Structure 1
Amino acid sequence: MSTRIAVVAGAGGGLGRAVVSALRTADLRVVAIDRDEEALRVLGPEVHRIAADLSTPEGAKSALARVEAEVGAPSVLVNTIGVHAFGDVMTITPDLLRQQVDLNVGAAVWLTQAVVPHMQQAGEGVIVHTAAEAGVEPAAGLTAYSVSKAATAHLTRVLAVELRPLGIRVNAVLPRLIATEANKAMLPPELLATASTPEAVAGAIALLVSEEAAAVHGALVPVNG
């Protein structure tokens, strides 16, 4: 069998880098995409890197076209793109809500639209989106973030139904909190005490894209420390 090609969106972030490593360990050929070209450099020359903004339909479509032209048709997509925001309902502004929805939900939609035709060509497909525990378990002080992640979680289940007839599996992970370097610099130690490591979340994602999870469709997998 030929080596499967996996696209990791948001590969320059803490979780994205861990996913790139986990998928390479699982013998997938990884294409790393991020809008921050400098963040991609640390992944090394053995990882095919594409600098692109995936937050628009045009950006996602163009990036996935490059993946096929430069590497081949992808059969795996892992979407780690996301943005976090604190604040209750009384502090939400139009700009904040738009940011959360555009990046946490919009990128998932545009990436899915862009990758599905290529997966059909490959004859198979697995998509894993990154939602959050806050999207299914209500918590105060994260209103816009929680609502956007709830939409991402439900989108995953809808996509699992819509894309299953095409041979494409869609699932999501639900981290509570990830101990990335960015979060360690921003959050107090007591809040990070039960955080999952990026490697732990990446391990769950690697399992979801593997043949061992071939019967798993529309799952929302908690990864909570």
Structure 2
Amino acid sequence: MTDSLPPVAIVVGAAGALGRFVALGLAHAGMTVVAVDRKADALELLPDAIRRKVADTTDPATAREVVDRIAEEIGAPRVLVNTIGTYGLGDLAETTPDQLGLMMSVNLGTALWLSQAAAPHMRAAGGGSIVHVAARHGLDPMTGSLAYSLSKSALVHLVRVLDAELRPTGIRVNAVAPQLLDSPFGRASFPPEVIAHAVAPEAVASVIVAVATDTSAPVSGAVIPTYGS
């Protein structure tokens, strides 16, 4: 670890469209960015100034291991941004136990385990900022994706619980809530008339960077809508 390094920011899911722009934005803001994703090839497309760790943080033990390793090798994280998520269709009649389990594990569990791993390092460093990516489905009742909506609703409540628990220790916890991103996944999954109302990932990333950094202090416990048109 080098004491002269700027504050360390961990961006999880950095190989995705949103995570990539978040990593670039935090680096532009002057932070030492560590990009984490399970897709090594996609991480290599990031600029050399951004450090990389290949890991699947949906696994609780791996989430803890990679955060601890970054803290030891580079420095205690002052920012954690988690963009990991998965999506699935299905109404009441179509929802299965396996689908609900997957949505809860990826969309809720990953956020919980990463927060649990990062918080002790942030407390020891005197504070920090955690940002998760929620969704409009977690705030407003919407049909057609029941398990996904439940998992994002649980994530929204997790953010508020973590705010109550961690704010006294100097750690801010917030979320942004897109409805639909104009990403390769979105364009492959939805018709053009739906994608026409999607939000560019770089626009959502700019909100995340503002919330994650001192620009937004002392905002905590917020779930910020980034719905688009």
- TM-score bracket, shorter-length normalisation: over 0.9
> Shift in Å at residue 71 of structure 1?
1.1
- Counterparts in 2 of 1:118-197, with a 5 A limit? 118-197=121-200
> Shift in Å at residue 2 of structure 1?
5.8
| Cross-structure match for 1:74 | 77
For the pair 1:198 / 2:201, whether they are aligned, the reply is yes
| Cross-structure match for 2:19 | 16
Q: What is the letter of the counterpart of residue 166 of structure 1?
A: T
| Cross-structure match for 1:56 | 59
Does the 8 Å CA contact 2:131/2:208 hold for their aligned counterparts? yes
SS of 1:91's equivalent in the other structure is coil
Taking structure 1 as the reference length, the TM-score comes to: 0.97
Pick the aligned partner of 2:115 from 102, 112, 115: 112
SS of 2:77's equivalent in the other structure is coil
1:134 & 1:167 partners in 2: Cα distance?
29
Q: What is the letter of the counterpart of residue 6 of structure 2?
A: T
> Shift in Å at residue 212 of structure 1?
2.4
SS of 2:142's equivalent in the other structure is coil
Pick the aligned partner of 2:42 from 39, 44, 51: 39
Q: Which runs of 5+ in 1 are unaligned?
A: none
2:122 & 2:104 partners in 1: Cα distance?
26
Q: Note the alpha carbon deviations across 1:130-174, whole angstroms, 9 max, x for none.
A: 000111111110111011000001100110000011100000000
SS of 1:75's equivalent in the other structure is strand
1:180 & 1:49 partners in 2: Cα distance?
22
1:54 & 1:143 partners in 2: Cα distance?
24
Q: What is the letter of the counterpart of residue 220 of structure 2?
A: H
2:196 & 2:141 partners in 1: Cα distance?
20
> Shift in Å at residue 90 of structure 1?
0.9
1:39 & 1:114 partners in 2: Cα distance?
24
| Cross-structure match for 1:223 | 226
1:77 & 1:223 partners in 2: Cα distance?
19
Q: Note the alpha carbon deviations across 1:6-45, whole angstroms, 9 max, x for none.
A: 0001111111111111111111110000111112111132
SS of 2:93's equivalent in the other structure is helix
Q: What is the letter of the counterpart of residue 37 of structure 1?
A: A
Q: Which runs of 5+ in 2 are unaligned?
A: none
SS of 1:81's equivalent in the other structure is coil
> Shift in Å at residue 56 of structure 1?
2.1
> Shift in Å at residue 186 of structure 1?
2.2
Q: Note the alpha carbon deviations across 1:115-136, whole angstroms, 9 max, x for none.
A: 0111112211100010001111
Q: What is the letter of the counterpart of residue 205 of structure 1?
A: I
2:38 & 2:5 partners in 1: Cα distance?
29
For the pair 1:98 / 2:96, whether they are aligned, the reply is no
Taking structure 2 as the reference length, the TM-score comes to: 0.95
Pick the aligned partner of 1:85 from 85, 88, 97: 88
1:184 & 1:41 partners in 2: Cα distance?
23
Q: CA RMSD in A?
A: 1.1
Percent identical among aligned pairs is 47
